[in-house]
Amino acid sequence: MSLASGHKAVEMEGEELAEQTRLFPGYQHGMVRLSPGGWVFPSPYKNFADKIYNFKYRPSDVMVMTYPKCGTTWTQELVWTMRNNPDLNHPLADLSLMARSPFQDMDMLLGDLAEVTNDNNPLYEVFRLQCPGKDPADGLMLQLSEAIPDPRTIKSHLPFSLHNPALLDTAKVIYVARNPKDVIISYHHHSRLIKVHCFRGELEDFVKYFVDDDLVYSPYWLHVKEAWEKRHHPNLHFVFFEDLKADVMGELKKLNAFLDTKLTDAQLTNVAKHASFMEMKKRKAFAGEGEAEMGFFNSEVVKKDGGFFRKGESGDWKGKLTPEQEAMVNKWTAEKMTSFGINFTYSV
Ligand code: A3P
């Protein structure tokens, strides 16, 4: 199937598909790989790809773009708070981030829509309020991304090449990258935690899938490369998770200039505190109250290894990856990541 982006979506078949669905039984509707690029997605991506590619942006939009687990949620909360709530008095600040700053390409991951479109799902309630008369089958999160009031802060895990080519000339994009070893540990946890992935393999399998560019939203290196090459565009701000961890106020000052939000140091301090790991964890800011009830999370994993707000640190991979796995990722980094000049200062 040809997509508006110029890519071809090719269904995975045979042993490759069998192995994917054995390790990730959450992907119940098949898998596709795009050419060129090799991007991997659950097959329902095809239903939304062209609509996402043709999404109409406005100059007041800000997109937070990342490969999964690079600090999207933290950055979204920082940006949304800077733009809407720097004095911490916004009445909707406790609403789930998914509702305030929708995940544009999430629909392909939602699986069985009937599990989502029920009266117990607060996100569906927000959809019905903000998108009256719209059919969730046309993209619950995609249409919510369109419908939220200006100024819109939109999240996407898709790389630049799958977005509207006018995006960067129209709106502002904040791209967040993170040390791939921490991404692996965090994505592994996430894939076990979130039922739509339902990862059943070992960390060993996951590392292999990562370096072979076989995980959903992979290849990681190409994702980062596409953004890195555009880093001098005035509408693109490139951030590293590690820099946010090391000096959040310093990074907020840069964001303040990029977003032209003109916040005072006292307001930036408010923002940093409100979006701190412990505060966001306390507020359950990712999915809002009732994240477990929304059915997204595997409660056994939550009990044993924690929920969405797992650790929030740099370097947590140490002691988790075996020396062999570390060597495998180092080899991959040397081959793929460093070839275009990116320097993960905190990666060793
Ligand atoms: P860990 O699994 O290493 O803890 P994303 O939002 O892109 O899915 O990234 C999630 C990662 O960012 C998780 O990493 C999560 O704990 C971490 N995170 C979320 N909010 C954070 C915050 N306010 N400060 C630091 N890390 C945060």
pLDDT digit string, tens, across residues 308-323? 999 999 999 999 999 9
CA-nearest residue, atom 17 of ligand 1 = 312
Pocket test of ligand 1: the residue of 206, 276, 277 to mutate, having most ligand atoms within 8 Å of its CB, is 277
Is residue 12 helix, strand or coil?
coil
Atom in ligand 1 nearest the alpha carbon of residue 280: 23
| Full DSSP string of 93-162 | TTS-HHHHS-BTTGGGG---HHHHSSTT-HHHHHHHHHSTT--GGGTHHHHHHHHSPSSPEEEE-S-GGG
239 DSSP β-pair partners:
176
Is the CB of 5 within 6 Å of ligand 1?
Answer: no
265 compared with 96, residue with greater pLDDT: 265
Under the banding of pLDDT at 50, 70 and 90, the label for residue 227 is very high
Asked whether residue 126 is assigned to any structural domain, the reply reads: no
Regarding whether 287 and 155 lie in a shared domain, the answer is yes
Same domain, 156 and 7: no
**Is residue 67 located within the same domain as residue 50?**
no
Examine the domain organization and report whether 37 and 183 are in the same domain.
no
167 contacts 173 by C-beta, under 8 angstroms? yes
What's the gap in Å between 73 CA and the centre of ligand 1? Answer: 7
Domain of residue 194, CATH code: 3.40.50.300
Ligand 1 center to 19 CA (angstroms): 29
Q: Among 274, 291, 310, 320, which residue has the most ligand 1 atoms within 8 Å of its CB, making it the best to mutate? A: 310
Query: What is the 311 CA–ligand 1 centroid distance (Å)?
Result: 7
Last residue in a domain, options 15, 30, 54: 54
- 8 with 93, same domain: the answer is no
Question: Looking at the structure, do residues 159 and 276 belong to the same domain, yes or no?
Answer: yes
- The answer to whether the CB of 311 is under 6 A from ligand 1 is yes
The verdict on residue 112 lying in a domain is no
- Residue 227 and residue 86 in one domain: yes
139 part of a folded domain: no
**Same domain for 186 and 65:** yes
pLDDT tens digits, 60-109: 999 999 999 999 999 999 999 999 999 999 999 988 899 999 999 999 99
Stretch 34-39: mean pLDDT = 98
Q: Are residues 228 and 95 in the same domain?
A: yes
| Virtual torsion, Cα 221, 227, 229, 235, nearest 10 deg | -170
Count of domains in the chain? 2
Q: Is the CB of 157 under 6 A from ligand 1?
A: no
Q: Which helix (H) or strand (E) holds 23?
A: helix 14-23
Tens of pLDDT along 153-176? 999 999 999 999 999 999 999 999
Q: Is 313 inside any structural domain?
A: yes
* Claim to verify: residue 259 and residue 218 sit in the same structural domain: yes
Q: Is 280 in the pocket of ligand 1 (CB under 6 A)?
A: yes
Same domain, 244 and 225: yes
Q: Are residues 44 and 153 in the same domain?
A: no
Q: Is the pLDDT assigned to residue 47 strictly greater than 50?
A: yes
Domain extent at residue 317: 57-101+148-340
